């Protein structure tokens, strides 16, 4: 979880700053297939995949992309009502302090490059520090914890390294099985240091489920593509499908068209206190790019024998 303040998300994806959402999605899918740890054994590929996934996560959301364009790598730390021009002037005034990554009370330098709000907007806070107010508890702090879909499904123990004012610190974090995007994991006493013997604040790790080349997660539900041959879709079949929890069988009813969602109950993200999410297999009918002579002949026979007109179907 190194600071991403020196990363340009557009450059990571290889797209222009005015790229369309379709261009961004195509670029991500190409890079995800290239660097995903399941297909690339190079140790550097996993880190590259995480960088690409973070870039896509930011740029694929129009609102988040606008904030990134306005505020740069520090966009997550800027309050929503801050004017972009005032922010840029404040950064110029703060100089090196804004890039130092301090978060008050000896805080951590998080992946998006935290800035010192006291230094950047000091006049707005009345300069509270060092006024003899007695012991002050350390500030609570936040950092994002990127996890794969598989990690979100199964959980496990993770080592997390963060840069702090007093050096780099590492933590062992228990990621619960079934963790969802945006969920907070609390590390008590690991936040900003307190003053005059006061306790330290807490560190909250905000889970971010990284984009995946095969799965899309919404809440606890997982969506994946199920490719079918025309005869499988027409006649019905039972086919194996990969899920984060292992292989499963999905029954395809006869007469299935592209875009139909087939639900596998309880095969989404688990829930310790409630019902697990579902997995939805979204069908897509595929045809041979270059049919053989025999395949072409059979398709021609079907075309001659069938009265089916897909353009009349609703």
CB-count exposure of residue 99 (10 Å: 0-12, 13-18, 19+): middle
Measure the CA–CA gap between 59 and 73, rounded to whole angstroms: 12
- Mean residue pLDDT of the chain comes to 81
pLDDT tops 60 at residue 126: no
Q: Name the superfamily (CATH) of residues 215-312.
A: Urease metallochaperone UreE, N-terminal domain (2.60.260.20)
Segment 176-211, tens digit of pLDDT: 999 999 999 999 888 888 877 888 888 899 999 999
Segment 91-107, tens digit of pLDDT: 565 554 444 444 343 44
pLDDT tops 50 at residue 310: yes
* Mean pLDDT calculated for residue range 126-155: 76
Pairing of strands 221-228, 167-175: unpaired
Q: What confidence score (pLDDT) does residue 80 get? A: 63
Query: Phi and psi dihedrals of 106, rounded to 5?
Result: 70, 50
State pTM to two decimals.
Answer: 0.56
Chain centroid, CA 269 distance in Å? 15
Segment 8-30, tens digit of pLDDT: 899 999 999 999 988 998 898 88
Q: What confidence score (pLDDT) does residue 101 get? A: 41
Segment 221-245, tens digit of pLDDT: 999 999 999 999 999 999 999 999 9
Residues 6+ apart with CB under 8 A from 39: 33
Bridge-partner residues for 215, per DSSP? 224
Strands (E) across the chain are located at 108-109, 141-147, 156-164, 167-175, 184-187, 203-209, 215-218, 221-228, 237-243, 246-252, 261-264, 279-285
How confident is residue 123, by pLDDT bands cut at 50, 70 and 90? very low
Q: Which CATH architecture fits 9-131+138-209?
A: Sandwich (2.60)
Measured at the alpha carbon of residue 61, what is the angle toward residues 99 and 226, in degrees to the nearest 5? 130
- In the chain, residues under CATH classification 2.60.260.20 are 9-131+138-209, 215-312
């Amino acid at each position: 979880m190194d600071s991403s303040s020196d990363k340009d998300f557009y450059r990571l994806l290889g797209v222009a700053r005015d790229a369309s959402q379709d261009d961004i999605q195509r670029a991500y899918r190409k890079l995800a297939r290239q660097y995903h740890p399941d297909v690339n054994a190079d140790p550097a590929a996993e880190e590259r995949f995480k960088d690409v996934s973070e870039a896509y996560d930011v740029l694929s959301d129009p609102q988040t992309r606008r904030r990134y364009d306005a505020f740069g790598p520090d966009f997550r730390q800027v309050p929503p009502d801050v004017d972009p021009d005032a922010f840029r002037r404040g950064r110029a005034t703060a100089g090196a302090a804004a890039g130092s990554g301090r978060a008050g009370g000896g805080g951590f330098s998080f992946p998006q490059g935290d800035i010192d709000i006291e230094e950047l907007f000091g006049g707005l806070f009345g300069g509270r520090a060092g006024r003899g107010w007695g012991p002050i508890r350390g500030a609570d702090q936040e950092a994002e914890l990127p996890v794969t879909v598989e990690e979100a499904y199964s959980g496990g123990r993770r080592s997390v390294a963060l840069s702090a004012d007093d050096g780099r610190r590492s933590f062992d974090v228990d990621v619960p099985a079934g963790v969802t995007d945006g969920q907070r994991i609390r590390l008590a006493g690991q936040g900003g240091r307190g003053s005059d013997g006061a306790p330290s604040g807490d560190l909250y790790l905000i889970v971010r489920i990284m984009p995946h080349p095969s799965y899309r997660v919404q809440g606890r539900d997982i969506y994946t593509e199920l490719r079918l041959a025309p005869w499988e879709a027409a006649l019905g079949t039972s086919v194996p499908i990969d899920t984060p929890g292992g292989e499963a069988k999905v029954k395809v009813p006869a007469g299935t068209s592209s875009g139909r969602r087939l639900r596998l109950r309880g095969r989404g993200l688990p829930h310790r206190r409630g019902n697990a999410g579902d997995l939805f297999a979204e069908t897509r009918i595929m045809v041979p790019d270059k049919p053989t002579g025999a395949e072409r002949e059979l398709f021609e026979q079907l075309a001659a024998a069938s009265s089916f007109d897909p353009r009349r179907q609703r």
